[in-house]
Amino acid sequence: MELPQEVSDLFAEEMAAKFLATVDAEGKPNVALIVTLQPPPDGRRDRLIFGEFLMWKSKEYLEGNPRVAAAVVNTKLRMATLTGDFQGFEKTGPYKETLDASNLMRYNAYSGMRAAGVIDVREVSPAFGAAMIAVPFDFLKARMHRTGGGNGGVAVPRMVKEKYTKLTSVKALAVMADDGYPRIYPVMAAAAAGEGAFVLQLAKYNRGLAEVKVPCPAALCVLTFDVKSYKVKGELAPLSPGALLFKVREVYNAMPPLAGDLIAPR
């Protein structure tokens, strides 16, 4: 399926937050920040490429199950989501050359990219957005929810919790759909719920979350505007008509040089 022009333009923005959801060996969702996701240089509108760069777990999951989802959120809170099929890694050729030459890879302080990953687009949503003026009110709504002490099994470290509840942060929530493909839902507003859970506020831009069958396994990745990223895995549970509860089971670092390192539980 071809990407609409606005969606293609969003994935072409270097400063946009881009996330990739994969499926682990147990059929549970995983989500990671993949900043190199972009349209290919050959002009194909039905494809995205990305760099194999510090993505050990995601690479393992891709090789075991090609079904993926991707999401992009830019600095103006314009967004898009899609599903696709991973086609493999290319170690040479124009895709890798384009990624190697990008500003994101050319000036990074870590090791170079090993290959270019290829995703063929299966389904794509039209671009949509969140109203800047509404986001602070969504955060207030999230903080007002009574959770009844509904904690997860793992206490989230304070430095991680602060990132998830920060006004200037973007979250990407991954869950599994009935068709065997993961889905990503952008989330802006979140609040701490005890030591090991988050309240996730539903809004117009992620209203599809209201249709997710909960409880279910889920993964949640955060990116702040000062380029800090973490990932939590656990269970998404019902809370109220306007919010869901994410119960944390595992906490991971999602930024180099420690990308993929387990933070909690130890």
Q: Where are the domains of the chain?
A: 5-128, 131-264
pTM over 0.75: yes
Structure tokens at 246: 């994410």
Q: What's the confidence (pLDDT) of residue 109?
A: 45
Q: How many CB atoms lie within 10 A of CB 148?
A: 10
Average pLDDT over residues 171-191: 98
Alpha helices, H only, 77-124: 94-101, 103-106
User: Does domain 131-264 fall into CATH 3.40.50.720?
Assistant: no
With cut-offs at 50, 70 and 90, classify the pLDDT of residue 240.
Answer: very high
If you write DSSP's letter for every residue of 200-234 in order, what string do you get? EE--GGGGGGGGS-SSEEEEEEEEETTS-EEEEEE
Given a cut of 70, whether residue 150 has pLDDT beyond it is: no
Position 145 scores a pLDDT of 87
In the chain, % of residues over pLDDT 70: 93
In this structure, are residues 261 and 253 in contact, taking their beta carbons and an 8 Å threshold?
yes
105: three-class secondary structure by DSSP: helix
Output the pLDDT for position 254: 80
Say yes or no: do domains 5-128 and 131-264 share a fold: yes
Would the pLDDT of 77 be above 80? Answer: yes
Asked if residue 155 has pLDDT above 90, the reply is: yes
Of the candidates 226, 207, 216, 145, the one whose C-alpha atom is nearest the C-alpha of residue 182 is 216
pLDDT digits (tens, 9 = 90+) for 2-60: 999 999 999 999 999 999 999 999 999 999 999 999 999 999 999 999 999 878 789 99
pLDDT for the residue 85: 98
Tens of pLDDT along 93-107?
999 999 988 876 655
Topology (CATH level 3) of domain 5-128: Pnp Oxidase; Chain A (2.30.110)
Task: Please give the Cα distance from 122 to 66 (Å, whole number).
Answer: 12
